[in-house]
Amino acid sequence: MTEVLSLALPFFGLILLGFASGRLVQLPESGLAWLNYFIIYIALPPLFFQLVSRTPFEQLANGRFILITTMATAVTFWLAIGAGLWLRRGNLAEAAIAGTVGAYANVGYMGPGLTLAALGTSAAVPTALIFTFDSALFFAAVPFLMALSGIEKESRLVMALKVVQRVFTHPFIVATILGVISAAFQVRPPAAVDKILDYLANAAAPCALFTLGVTVALRPLASVPPEIPAVVGIKLIIHPLIAWLLLSAVGGFEPVWIYTALLMAALPPRAQCLCHGAPVRGLCRAIIGRHSRRHARLHRDRHNAPLYDPARHDRAEPFPMRTTMPRPLEGVLVADFTTLLPGPLATLMLAEAGAEVIKIERPGGEDVRRFPPFQNGGSASFAILNRGKKSLIADLKNEDDKSEVWALVERADVLVEQFRPGVMERLGFGYDAVRARNPKIVYCSISGYGQSGPRRTEAGHDINYIGATGLLSLAPGPVDRPTVPPGLIADIGGGTMPAVTNILLALLGRQKSGQGTHIDIAMADAMFTFAWYALATYHTTGRNPGPGELRHNGGSARYQLYPTSDGKIVACGALEQHFWLSFSKAIGLPDALIDDERDAQATAETVRKIIASKSAAHWQPIFAKADCCVTIMATLEEALRDPHFIERGLFAYQVALPGGGTMPALPVPIAPQFRSEAKAVAAPSLAAKKG
């Protein structure tokens, strides 16, 4: 019993110390990425080199041990893949990840450090052999399975060459090979270098255990994937049982070698690889990722953060492919209390960048679920604004439901709400109450006029915000038939975009300070930003710009809409002089009217008559040749068929609709390298309590 305690207490004591530090000390998480980098790339390679190089060479060539342990891992790997195929309904890519988690002791590269901490230096050689050959097995098998599943697109030859290169450039394997060479030729590094290697080697296991504790404290599992029970059983019971049976059947091994094999076989699986929405491709590349001098950007599952090279983008592809980097917001948990457009679009953009967004909806669902158009029994409007999110149905006036919501809010990184000021406080989820339970939370409130000021509780929609700020007055259309703007400028430009920008700034600031913040987004505020030219004019001249006076609002012949003879519209944006001269020449504008400052109205009327004399088909090639910032206005249907936008991949992403079928997802301004692969992803269903 004393021996067990002497082994377990230091082992779990360091983990507990890390856990307590993560819970009690408010420090930015960015340091954890550097600590992982130190463990994986700085400390563990010297540990392997020192232990292997100081071992008699004849012990390193134990072919029977290598064959048996690798065989046990391979059998376990295929068992876990079988379980993954069954639970994921034949999805080979996700099954491959389940196989890796269920058989590989080194996802996150903690296995060797933990084994050596438990069994001491006498376990160095079997640990190094198991790690080296298990890694080679997985580096070969996983990309092969990904290629079969269609995720990895390279040819067999290219994939084989990459596997060989990555196996022999992995820092652990390189260190092991150098250690074998050192042992074979009995060559040691210079004394000073040897001392540095010892310092680094001695730091590996304590740092690994401490980091494991911090990781558990800061990154609790958001949900339990269906593979977990099967994978845990395979990893903790079947894998060590197979290893023990094979080693016992062959016999002739030192006890510490058997203990090492059993312990590495029984190390717990890395469950985060199946949680937090970790993408299959990202984990695949984490296993076989190339090692360079640049480290991956901080994310929630950083133990698997390899050093990535961006994937080549083939311009012939019909849609953009992700690079090999993880999505920037993977591991960020968002509690989404918003409805309608501004907030849901903001959290959609966060979800597209990798965040896990859980939408809190009242019983019956939010209002947009009942907005037309409908397809297959569901709202298409709701589907395109909530692609890839989850849903938590809760009555915030019910204490049991509130407890469930609090469980989410307490571990969330971001909370987004869109009620009128004061509503969240009345519901019990105001910023002060939330901050008391979760000091690191980034709390974003989106409202029409903000959380302060005389108009804070005033009702409004997009048209009210652009009307109240003077923006609408710059181009309202004719007085007798005013024109409603075609876009929801305040909702998106004043609500969604500022919310996303400030949430990302707050997350970046939290990495430095360790503290969250309350962000007050008023949709009306940013409308003054859109009126930048009018403000510059007013503040310099003291004159209020009237409707259609400014050059960008209809006051210039150079920036106008001109009808053609067949009812189409020419959108002219020839503001700069060289564009204006090219345009004037292309349409045959009389020389006396080219200087539009003399009589802007006469120039505009003449241009209008010239354009109206011909069809759009006549003008299209002329303007294309002139290259003068003039286009024929397209209908939405025509724009959806434009080869340019198709090649750019704007419509390649799909949203799965309830009842079956798909439709193109809403294009969002998130660069493709920060998104998942273009595929169909569903909006949350209302059927389940938590989707």
The whole-angstrom separation of Cα 358 and Cα 346 is 13
The whole-angstrom separation of Cα 153 and Cα 86 is 24
Beta bridge partners of 522: 447
Q: What is the 3-state secondary structure (H, E, C) of 621-667?
A: HHHHHHCCCEEECCCHHHHHCCHHHHHCCCCCCEEECCCCCEEECCC
Q: What is the 3-state secondary structure (H, E, C) of 83-109?
A: HHHHHCCCCHHHHHHHHHHHHCCCCCC
**Which one of 401, 462, 491, 525 is the catalytic residue?**
491
578 assigned to active site: no
CB neighbour burial string for 328-347, b if at least 16 within 10 angstroms, e if fewer: bbbbbbbbbbbbbbbbbbbb
Token look-up 């949680």 returns 275
375 with 416: CB under 8 angstroms? no
Query: Phi and psi of 319, rounded to 5°?
Result: -150, 155
The whole-angstrom separation of Cα 691 and Cα 223 is 11
- Calculate Rg over the CA atoms of the chain: 31
Q: How far is CA 229 from the centre of its chain?
A: 26
461 assigned to active site: yes
At 231 the three-state DSSP class reads helix
Of 140, 86, 92, 93, nearest to 280 (Cα)? Answer: 93
The whole-angstrom separation of Cα 673 and Cα 662 is 23
Of 567, 538, 34, 570, nearest to 302 (Cα)? Answer: 34
Token look-up 């209008």 returns 608
Beta bridge partners of 658: none
E strands, 229-338, in order: 333-336
Distances (CA, A) of 395 to 223, 414, 416: 21, 21, 17
Query: Phi and psi of 452, rounded to 5°?
Result: -135, 165
**Which one of 461, 520, 552, 599 is the catalytic residue?**
461
State the virtual CA torsion across 536, 537, 538, 541 in degrees, nearest 10.
Answer: 120
The whole-angstrom separation of Cα 129 and Cα 48 is 10
Compute the half-sphere exposure of residue 153: CA atoms within 13 Å on the CB side of its CA: 10
Q: What residues act catalytically?
A: 461, 491
